A and B are shown apart, each in its own frame.
Chain A
Amino acid sequence: MTNSADYFQSLTTWGRNKVATISIPWTITFVYLSLVLLLPIAALMSKSLSLGVSEFWRIATSDVARSAYNVTFVTALLAALINGVMGTLVAWVLVRHDFPGKKLVDAAVDLPFALPTSVAGLVLATVYSDKGWIGQLFAPFGIKIAFTRLGVFVAMVFISLPFIVRTLQPVLQEMEKEIEEAAWSLGASSYQTFFRVLLPPLVPPILTGVALGFSRAVGEYGSVVIVSSSIPFQDLIAPVLVFQRLEQYDYGGATVIGTVLLLGSLLLLLVINGLQQWGRRYAA
Chain B
Amino acid sequence: MLRNFFSRVSIKEKGGEFGNIKVTKNDHRKTNPQTQLLIAIALGYLFLVLFIPALAVFYEAFHQGIGELFAAMGSREFLHAVRMTVIMAAIALPLNTVFGLCAAWVIARNQFRGRALLISILDLPFAISPVVAGLMIVLLYGRNGWFAPLLNSLDIKVLFAIPGMAMATIFVTLPFVAREVIPVMEDMGSDQEEAARILGANDWQIFWRVTLPNIRWGLLYGILLTNARAMGEFGAVAVVSGGILGRTQTLPIFVEQAYKNYQTQAAFGAAAILALLGFVTLIVKEILERNTSRPVHH
Chain A positions within 8 Å of B, measured between CB atoms, are 1-2, 10, 13-14, 17, 21, 24-26, 28-29, 32-33, 36-41, 43-44, 47, 86, 89-90, 92-94, 97-99, 105, 107-127, 132-134, 154, 157-158, 161-163, 166-167, 169-170, 177, 215, 218-222, 225-226, 239-240, 242-243, 246, 251, 254-255, 258, 261-262, 265-266, 268-269, 273
What chain B residues lie within 8 Å of A24 (beta carbons)?
Answer: 102
* Closest chain A residue, CB of each to CB of B278: A114
B297 contacts across to A, CB distance below 8 A: 166-167, 169-170
- Residue of A at shortest CB range from B142? A251
> Is the CB–CB distance between A118 and B60 below 8 Å?
no
The answer to whether the Cβ of B154 comes within 8 Å of any Cβ in the partner chain is: no
- The answer on a CB contact under 8 Å between B129 and A93 is no
A114 x B41 contact (CB < 8 A): no
Whether B285 sits at the interface, judged by CB under 8 Å, is: yes
The answer to whether A246 touches B60 (Cβ under 8 A) is: no
- Determine whether the beta carbon of B239 is less than 8 Å from that of A115: no
Chain B residues with Cβ below 8 Å from A32 are 95, 99, 102
Of the residues B42, B101, B102, B274, contact of A90 by C-beta under 8 Å: B42
Name 12 A/B residue pairs within 8 A (Cβ), A-sorted.
A33-B121, A37-B171, A40-B171, A44-B132, A86-B42, A97-B29, A99-B39, A116-B231, A123-B57, A218-B129, A219-B131, A265-B132
In the complex, per-residue mask of B124-157: 1 if CB is within 8 Å of any chain A CB, else 0: 1101111111011111101011100000000000
How many interface contacts (CB-CB < 8 Å) are there between A and B? 260
B1:A90 contact, CB within 8 angstroms: no
Q: Are B274 and A222 in contact (CB under 8 A)?
A: no
**In the bound complex, how far is the Cα of B5 from the Cα of A1, in angstroms?**
13
Q: Spell out B's residues near A (CB within 8 Å).
A: 1, 22, 26, 29-30, 35, 38-39, 41-43, 45-46, 48-54, 56-57, 60, 95, 98-99, 101-103, 105-106, 120-125, 127-133, 135-140, 142, 144-146, 167, 170-171, 174, 189-190, 194, 197-198, 203, 225, 228, 231-235, 238-239, 251-253, 255-256, 259, 267-268, 271, 274-275, 278-279, 281-283, 285-286, 295, 297-298
- Once bound together, how far apart are the Cα atoms of A87 and B174, in whole Å? 28
B45 touches A122 (CB 8 A): no
| Interface pair A122/B256, CB less than 8 Å apart | yes
Closest to A270 in B: B120
A36 adjacent to B1 (CB under 8 Å): no
Docked-complex contact B105 and A25, CB < 8 angstroms? yes
Given A26-B106, A116-B255, A219-B131, 18 other A-B contacts at CB below 8 A? A21-B203, A24-B102, A32-B95, A40-B139, A107-B285, A114-B228, A118-B252, A118-B256, A119-B57, A122-B255, A158-B49, A166-B298, A220-B129, A226-B256, A239-B129, A242-B135, A243-B235, A258-B132
